[in-house]
Structures are given as C-alpha cells and as structure tokens.
Structure 1
Amino acid sequence: MSSAIDRSMDEAKTSKFHYKVLFISGLGFFTDAYDLFIIGVVILLLPYAGWHNISIFYKGLVTSTALLAAVIGSVVFGRLLDYSGRKAIYGFELVALIAGSLGSAFLTPVNNIFMLLFWRFLLGVGIGGDYATSSTIMTEYSSTMNRGKFVGMIFSMQSFGLIAGPLISIAFLSNYVSPYITWRLLLAIGAIPAIIVIYFRRTMPEPPRYTADVRGDYKLAAKNLKTFAGLDSTGSKGKTINAPWYVLFRDRKFLLTLIGTAGAWFLMDWAFYGNSIMSNSILSFLVPSTVSGIHSIIMTNEYSAIIFGVAAFPGYWIAAFTIDRIGRKPVQITGFAMMAISFGIISAFSFLTTYRFLDYFLLLYGISYFFIMFGPNVTTFVYPPEVFPISTRGLGTGISAAGGKTGAFIGTLADTIILSITGLHFLMGMLAIIAAIGLILTIVLLPETKRRDLGETSGEARYAEWK
C-alpha cells in the first residue's frame, strides 16, 4: 500500500514546478553532452595548436577518460543519493564538472597530456554524478502518466549539446579564430550552463516521496508537497521502505533487472559514444583528398551538425513525447533492431564509406542515429529509476549508468584503435553485433513500466516494513 504522498504525486497534474525541475536538471544534460562530445573536435585541433606527437593510444585515452571517470561518479553519487538524501547531494556533481571543464581549458599547458587527462577525469566524475542524480529526482517528482516524458525530456537536452559542439566549432574556425585559442574556448564553454543552474540545484527541496517513504517524516513530506508543488496530501502514511543496498545483488529478480538495465546501457553506449565522439574521424573518410587541415575539420563538423540536427535531434524528442504511450520496451527493441540493420548494411557494403556514395552513407548513418535516440539512448536513462526500490534507487540508477559509461569508455578507446587499423566497415560490423546483443537483452530481462506507479514497478512492497 502506497502512502498518500505517493498517490498525490502519481496523480498530480503537470505544474510549473515540474518544468522548473526539468529546466534545472535538463541544462545539466546539455552540458554533459557538450563536454563529452566536444573533445572529439578538440583532439583534432591540438596538432594545429602546438601539440606534438600525440599517439593513437593517447588520443583514445583523452577522448575516453571522462567516460571512465563517469563510472566512478555515477556509483559514488548514486550511493550518496540514497544514504544522505537527494537534497544533500544534488548540485555537488556540477562543482566537479565545472572545475574539470575550466581546468582542462585554462590550467592545461600545451603538450601536457597528463594534466589534460586529470581535468577530464574530474569532469567525468561530475558527469557520472549527474546521470545518477537527475533521473532519480525527476522520476520521484513525476506523475505516473507523464514520468517517461519528463525524464526523457531531461535526457533529450543532450540533443542541444550534440548540435552546439559542431556549430560552435564551425563558428570559431570559419572566422579564423586561432586553434591556440579555439581548443581552450571549446572546453571552457561547457562550464557555462552548469554555472547557471548550480544554485537552483543546491536549493531544491527533498522529493516528498523520499522524505516520506525512506526517512519516515510524513509531516515534512506533506509540507514540502504543498509548498513546492501546490498539492495537498491527506490519508494514510503508508510504509517506510527498508531495502538495503545489497538487495540489488542478493535478490534474483533485482539482480537480473540490474543486469538488464546496466547491460543494455553498456551495449548502447559502446555503439553511441564510440560512434559520436569518433564522428569527426569517421566522417573524415568522406572528405575529398583535396581538402585538408582546418578546412577538413570544418567539413567534418558540418557533416556532424547535419546528422545530429536532422537525425539525432528529432529522435530524442519523438522518443520523449511518445514513450508514455508506446512504452519503454517497444521503443528500446525497435531502436536496437534498426541500429543493427543500419550498421550491418554499412559494414556489408564497404563502398558506401567512400566520397562517391556520400549521400547513401549519410542516409544510413543518419538512420542509425535516429534509432539510437528513438530507442535505447533515451530508454536506458528512463528505465533504472523506475525499477529499483526508493531506498536503493540512486545506487541502482548509478550502477546502470556506470554500465553505460563503461561501455562508452571501452567503445571510444577501442573504436579509435579499430578505426585506425581495420577501417570503417569492420567497425560498423562490430557495432551491428553489439546492437543485436542489446536487442536480445532487452527482450529477455527488462519489463514494461509505462503508466504503472513506482511502488509497483520497483517491487517496493516486498521490502516494506509497516509502522
């Protein structure tokens, strides 16, 4: 039996407060996407800015270090989210993100690859923390009918970050801003959105669900519900949820669910991040041999902006606005299936990766991007906070995100090396297999959670202790 607090929030109409939470959380995800993907442009600019002899290994390490750090950040912040409370933690992940962004831009000497790696690592810790905190908090504030839409919209703010990176790069380079200045500005800009919202995150109230169901303070929860959401709550206090953190590993059902959420995210991020961060290198295969230097970088950024804008952007938002009607599982299945097909076609017909067949390649590459977004990129973010008990929701979400960022780290590092050794067609074949495995994992291990209350989807009733 859920408390009156839970029922009030499950049945709540959309309010200004929901959009406030959406803005505060979503702007962080704009920053996350921008910071993660702009490094692909920066790594191409560094040789023109006085950096010498960066090996393939170090290129892969620079582009993937933030992803490895995000694994740590998502688990640590996820656990703290459950242990200390949502309000106590929210906002500190942005402190790490801002420090890492500004440090990598202004405190990294030319040719000091290790200092750049340090600041990118700190940046990644903050990004990982944002994955664990924002989805959990938005989930707990949302109603049953609109939960998928609001959590999906937060994640879809990534789409603006994806497009902003190439466009800003083109603006600098086309106006002949020196590469010595451009690479630093590109890294520094990522701190601006985080700075804008950090105060609002630190002053957000504790979600009433957590206050009532975990802390057992029903009176404070009802007060916050009225003050910040304008909702009245009368009725039963319900239960206090006492699911310890290790239940995720000892309970077979939760363990299989965790394998499903973390595993699908791992496979999706391998395909997505390796593909996206490496997009400038991948698309460089399509640049005519007569184009070189900075002009080559500008052209690959133009291709990236077109693909992100035409394919990725609508995929994000169509998923966000339809996920509560179609369901999480069908969207994720469709996305993985279409990824496997499009990657497989590019791999099977290697001539598609030549400039002569540019239109066909961009079409297939764009289709893959659309269905990554209208598919597992959004759903793997929506799923975790819905399927774990509230007292372990942060950790379950954090571990799931850590699975994703582990895949992103491995994919980015491996794809850099694979692309340089074997060529694009082999890389695409490998990504097709990865997507097919994700499809199977989704079918076997993940439930459908659309328009079901959190108490039901998370299995909290099995760990309720009546008071």
Structure 2
Amino acid sequence: MSTLDETPEAHTPAVDVTSESFKRKFMFRLVAVMVGGMILDGYILGIIGPVTSTIEDSLNINSLELGLIAAGPLFGIFIGAPICGWATDKWGRKPMFLMDMGLFVLASFLQFFIAIGQFFVDDWIQLFVIRLLMGVAIGGEYAIGWPLLSEFAPARLRGRLLGSTVLAWYFGFMIAFFIGTLMDNAGINWRIILGSSTVIAVILFIARLGLPESPRWLLQKGRIAEGQSIAKRYMNVVEAMEIELEAKHKEETSGKEGRFADLFNKENIRATVFASGFWFCASTPYFAIATFAVVVLEDFGFGEDSAFGAVGMTVAATLGVATTAALLDKLGRRALTIPPQWVTLVLILILAWWDGPGWLMLTMLLAFSFINSGVNTLTSVYPGEVFPTEVRGIGTGFASACSRIGAGLGTFLLPWSIDNLGMATSLTIAAIIILAGTLLSQALAPETKGKSLSETAATFSH
C-alpha cells in the first residue's frame, strides 16, 4: 500500500485510498457528476420551451428563425459528438470531460451576459450560435461521459448506472420546463432564464476537478503502470484484476490511435452498424411522436384534453426509463431490447389502422411511450460496451450523431407527413423504422450482462 500512497495520484495520504469505502465513494462521485451532466443536457434542451413566444416577440423573429434557435442544440450534438469522441480517444477521457463542462459554463454564461442590457445578443443568429455551442457540449457529454463511466463501472452494475443517466436527462428536461414556466410568469428576462443553466454548469465543473483518467485508456496508450495504479486505487478487486489481465495483453495494441476509418474495418464494422442503426431506429419515432404528442392526440380526437395526454406520455416515458434501468443487470440487454421492440411495432400498427375507443387509443399511446423509452435507455449502454477502448469515444460519438439525424428528420417531417400523407401512413412509416431496428437487434444485439468490457467488445471483433 505504501507504493500506491507514493504515486502522484494520491491526494490525501490520511485516507486509505485502497479501501472499499474509498472506492465506493469515488464511484458515487463519478456517477453523480455524470448524472449531473445529463440533467444539465436535459435542462438546456427543455428550458427554451416555456420562453419561445417571449423570444419571438423580443427579437422580432419569424417561426422559422425560432425553430432554428430551438433546434440549434440538435445541430450542435451532430457536430460535437463525433469530434469530441475522436478527441477523447486521442487525448484522454479526463481532460475532455473537464473541457466539455468548461464549454457548458462558457455558453451558459454568455446567455447570462447578454441579459445585461442586451449587451451581447441583439439578434437571433447570435443566440443560435450560443445554442449551437451548447449542443456541441451536449454531444461531447455523450461521447466522453458514457465511455468514461462504462470503463470504471463494475460489470454487475454497468447497465443500471449507464441507464440511470438517461433517467437523469428526463428529470433535467422536466425541471427545466417547470422552472422556466415559473420564471417566465414572474416576468424574469428570458436571457436570464436561458442562462440559469450556468449555475448547474459551474457546480459540475468544480465537481469534476481531480477525477482520474480511465485505466483502460491509459493501457491503450501504453501507460501500463499508471493504468494499473489507478485501477488499484479506484476500482474494486474484480475490476482491478480485469485491468491486470488486460495489461498483460496490451503489447500488440497499446499506443494504437483510434481513427474514424477504424469504425468501418473488419474488427469494428458490426459494432458500428449495430450501435448506429439501433440508436437511429429507436430515437427517430420516439422524438417525432413525443415532440408532437399534442398534435397526434388531437388527430385521435382528444381535443382540449390533448395537453393532459401529452403530459401523461412524458410521465409514462420517464417510468419506462426508470424501470428498464433497474432491470438491465437482472434480466439482461437482449430481453429488454428485442421483445419490447416487437411490442412497440404492434402498438404503432394498431394505432395507425384501427379506429378504437378514445380511452383505449390513449392507453396504447401511453404503453408505447413507456416501452419505447425503455428501449431508448439501451442507447446509453450498448455503445460503451460494443466498441473497443481505442474507438469507444469515436464510436459512441458517431452513433450519437446518427441518432440525431433520425431525431431531426422525424421531428421535422412528422407535421408535414400528417398534413400531407395522413396519420395512418405517418405511423406506418414509423412502424417500418421500428421494424428495421427490431430486425437489426434480433441479428446483432449482444448479451453483455455481467461481462467485462474486453469480453463485450470481443463479441463484435470476431
């Protein structure tokens, strides 16, 4: 133990840094800052909802310009996820995890800053750029945070911990809508409302100071002794032993630089196709239907009750995420991936072509929200497990970017499709996308429950 205490990573010699208590506290801290980051992501995407009309009047913009401001973070995610994924594989999880939150602080502060006499932002393009930067940071959070957490998390808890981050996103989105509505009703400047995310960002930036580098990334870069030391210090006995075993087999691969092209070589192509395709097919119908839930419900004849039904769908989705996250490490990945997709496919087809009683149609929509959101929970788990260390960040970032294409297309096209093709045809198109994801999962989805990351990545490389 004395050897470990003398390493540069030891910050508090009075603490037994090899104790299980110390390791549990570290894991709690890592999960907390990761969950906090996802709350911030949801908050940033949700906080603009209550003030859209205020922004429109204040900046004297049209609906298209307002739509671009609202969609700015989605464009940013598409840009930021693959770039930050590449950067985290090249320069490390630790520095990028901190720098990404620094970008959150900067972009959030700019929104606070512009509240002072409109000193900075006086037109919609500047606000769009700031929201775009926030999206870049959100994309980075996916591509950096999930690989980092997966590389530290115990195999027996990895699914539950990664799944909990999705639940945190929903929580952040909901509290943003609640807080934003209260502040807007109180007459608070919309710039301050948007900039309120600065408080969360600063707290998380401070909390991330001093976090260690991923031992698996260090092994991949040939820094074997440093990786082993950090593993012994911060990881439980089982995971630390796994790092020791990995260290013995890193002579051939250590120092290898991950590239975008590597996602499509024979070792990684199956993981790339599965993670990207699964995420695209899971998120496309969900974002479209969830975003325009009121429109969908109105088409089913709910009238003034559509808003209440939309809230119910959001609650059902949140419960679906919580349930799936709790069961991931008990039932396994495939059991919570494939059967639910078949169920959602049947539900969407019934909703598309059967004109049933209103209460039954709403029940099926609630069931769809519950089950489909559970499937979407797996999008936070699979990328971190199926890609090897050298491209885990790039792979997660690329899959995230593909999912944003689906989410953006679905959200953009659904209103047009309903108006021009009708609800039945629109939902049938959604069903086709769900079917594609289901067949892809049936063929490629691995069972990674309880397996080490080296075992899960090997599933796709042989």
Same fold (TM over 0.5): yes
Query: For the residues of structure 2 that align with 1:63 and 1:427, how far apart are their CA atoms?
Result: 24
Deviation of 1:304 after TM superposition, in Å, equals 4.2
* Corresponding position of 2:274: 260
* Corresponding position of 1:130: 141
Bigger shift: residues 161-170 or 366-375 = 161-170
How many residues align structurally? 430
Say which of 236, 239, 242 aligns to 2:249.
239
* Corresponding position of 1:23: 32
Deviation of 1:307 after TM superposition, in Å, equals 2.8
- The normalised TM-score by structure 1 is 0.81
Query: For the residues of structure 2 that align with 1:266 and 1:64, how far apart are their CA atoms?
Result: 18
1:87 and 1:205 in contact (8 A); partners too: yes
- 2:126 is equivalent to residue 115 of structure 1: yes
Query: For the residues of structure 1 that align with 2:339 and 2:53, how far apart are their CA atoms?
Result: 34
Query: For the residues of structure 1 that align with 2:426 and 2:377, how far apart are their CA atoms?
Result: 23
Rate the CA distance shift 1:278–1:38 in 2: closer, same or farther, 3 A. farther
Rate the CA distance shift 1:428–1:460 in 2: closer, same or farther, 3 A. closer
Rate the CA distance shift 1:433–1:38 in 2: closer, same or farther, 3 A. farther
Aligned pairs (5 A) from 1:286-435? 300=307, 303-309=309-315, 311-349=316-354, 357=358, 359-375=359-375, 377-419=376-418, 424-435=423-434
- 2:62 is equivalent to residue 54 of structure 1: yes
Deviation of 1:115 after TM superposition, in Å, equals 2.2
Query: For the residues of structure 2 that align with 1:163 and 1:286, how far apart are their CA atoms?
Result: 25
Identity of aligned residues (%): 24
What do the CA deviations read for 1:131-170 (whole angstroms, capped 9, x no partner)? 0111101100012211111111122211212322343345
SS in 2 for 1:63: helix
Query: For the residues of structure 1 that align with 2:300 and 2:60, how far apart are their CA atoms?
Result: 25
- 2:155 is equivalent to residue 144 of structure 1: yes
- 2:179 is equivalent to residue 168 of structure 1: yes
Rate the CA distance shift 1:343–1:61 in 2: closer, same or farther, 3 A. farther
1:73 and 1:127 in contact (8 A); partners too: yes
Query: For the residues of structure 2 that align with 1:196 and 1:287, how far apart are their CA atoms?
Result: 45
* Corresponding position of 1:218: 224
1:91 and 1:201 in contact (8 A); partners too: yes
Query: For the residues of structure 1 that align with 2:278 and 2:172, how far apart are their CA atoms?
Result: 23
1:139 and 1:147 in contact (8 A); partners too: yes
2:77 and 2:136 in contact (8 A); partners too: yes
Deviation of 1:15 after TM superposition, in Å, equals 1.8
Rate the CA distance shift 1:78–1:171 in 2: closer, same or farther, 3 A. same
1:61 and 1:413 in contact (8 A); partners too: no
What do the CA deviations read for 1:409-445 (whole angstroms, capped 9, x no partner)? 2222223544565565554333222222211121123
Deviation of 1:267 after TM superposition, in Å, equals 1.9
Query: For the residues of structure 1 that align with 2:197 and 2:298, how far apart are their CA atoms?
Result: 25
Query: For the residues of structure 2 that align with 1:277 and 1:85, how far apart are their CA atoms?
Result: 35
2:333 and 2:449 in contact (8 A); partners too: yes
Letter in 1 for 2:204: V
Bigger shift: residues 427-436 or 311-320 = 427-436
Rate the CA distance shift 1:460–1:39 in 2: closer, same or farther, 3 A. same
- 2:422 is equivalent to residue 436 of structure 1: no
Aligned pairs (5 A) from 1:153-192? 153-172=164-183, 176-178=185-187, 181=188, 183-192=190-199
Deviation of 1:250 after TM superposition, in Å, equals 4.5
What do the CA deviations read for 1:15-69 (whole angstroms, capped 9, x no partner)? 222221110001111111222244444435545x4455623x4454333331122
Query: For the residues of structure 2 that align with 1:111 and 1:103, how far apart are their CA atoms?
Result: 12
Rate the CA distance shift 1:342–1:126 in 2: closer, same or farther, 3 A. same
